[in-house]
Structure 1
Amino acid sequence: MPSILVISGSPSPASRTERIGDIAARWLTDEGCRTEHLRVRSLPAGPLLSADVSHPAIALAAGQVARADGVVLATPTYKASFSGLLKSFLDLLPQFGLDGKAVLPLATGGSLAHVLVLDYALRPVLHSLGARHVVQGHFVLDQHVELKDGRPWIRPESRAGLDAVLEQFRAALPAGRSVTGAVH
């Protein structure tokens, strides 16, 4: 059973980005993966910003990355780039902190004009961290993410694309390629 870490890089507790991370985590769990969801905003700011990997919470989060077979990164788009909060977290990882891992970048934003954040801002950082395979990312418009009956929900026009990249990510994992089943 592959182990997946979903990392949400939004500073907002009511974040649509975090909802995308929740949806991805639920999808992957339904497909037979062990899934955890790390919300970077929950880490202590001082140790995070100073990259204090000796701090217990930071060490625990870095350990989650090290143990994961695959990582899903969810980020809001700010000023045509991924969040500084996510960047701070990625900066504290070792030089090849994503070595051997499949990685799926996801982004949210207010306009499709920001879709290139995935390929021009985030993808080079992921490759520099040694990711084995960076799956084609997916951008979701903020207005397509809602709460329905208290659960995160994405409008169908964005859901189909998200499901497709999640399937590609699952297939790229070092283990679990034969996991099948859940209907979405």
Structure 2
Amino acid sequence: MAIVLSVSGSPSATSRTTRLLRHVDARLEARGHHVVPFEARSLPAHALLSADFSHPAIAAAADLFARADGVVIGTPVYKAAYSGLLKTLLDVLPQHALTGKAVLPLATGGSTAHVLAVDYALRPVLSSMGAGHVTQGWFVLDRHITVREDGGTAIERETDALLTPVVEAFASALERLAVPALTG
């Protein structure tokens, strides 16, 4: 069982990005992984923007990353890039905070014009932070994530079907990275 940190880089309290992440979290938990949800917006803005590495909340976030075997990073796409909130969070983490970890980048947005943000904006940053394996990322249109009457999340059927192998590949990468730790 791997520990997965599921990070929402959305500044919105009613985020479709966060809803997508919690949907993915449930799938990972169904495979036996322990998922720790984390919302970057919960961090104090002053500590983030002033890069206060010694602030207890920033230190606690860095510790969550350090303890995780894998990280799912979710972000809305604004102006063809991942959120500034996510960028600020990544900037205050240690340079090699993702070393040896499997990472799944996910993005949401209003137009398919932003689909390349995952590979051309986010993936290079994750790689520069030492990620052991950045799996295939995925972009989901906002309109394919809706709120059901009971408050739960509904993912458009075809989108969910396309997301399934992406999540499965990440779970497999987690399991492959965990094997040396168990045998070593």
1:175 alignment partner, SS class: helix
CA contact (8 A) 1:105 1:138 kept: yes
* Equivalent position amino acid for 1:151 in 2: G
CA contact (8 A) 1:138 1:161 kept: no
Map 1:69-108 to 2 at 5 A: 69-108=69-108
- Give identity over the alignment, percent: 58
Structure having the higher helix fraction is 2
* 1:175 has 2:178 as partner: yes
Q: C-alpha offsets along residues 71-97 of structure 1, whole Å, 9 cap, x if unaligned?
A: 000000000000000000001111111
Give the TM-score, by structure 1 length. 0.93
Map 1:35-114 to 2 at 5 A: 35-114=35-114
* Structure 1 segments unaligned to the other structure (5+ residues): 177-184
Q: C-alpha offsets along residues 135-170 of structure 1, whole Å, 9 cap, x if unaligned?
A: 000100000001122112211111012211110000
Alpha-carbon shift at residue 175 of structure 1 (Å)? 2.3
Counterpart Cα distance in 2 of 1:65 and 1:97 = 6
Counterpart Cα distance in 2 of 1:144 and 1:112 = 12
Alpha-carbon shift at residue 121 of structure 1 (Å)? 0.2
* Structure 2 segments unaligned to the other structure (5+ residues): 180-184
Q: C-alpha offsets along residues 7-35 of structure 1, whole Å, 9 cap, x if unaligned?
A: 00010000100101111111111110010
Q: RMSD over aligned Cα, in angstroms?
A: 1.0
Q: C-alpha offsets along residues 110-142 of structure 1, whole Å, 9 cap, x if unaligned?
A: 111110000100000001000010000010000
Moved over 3 A (4+): none
* Equivalent position amino acid for 1:56 in 2: P
Give the TM-score, by structure 2 length. 0.93
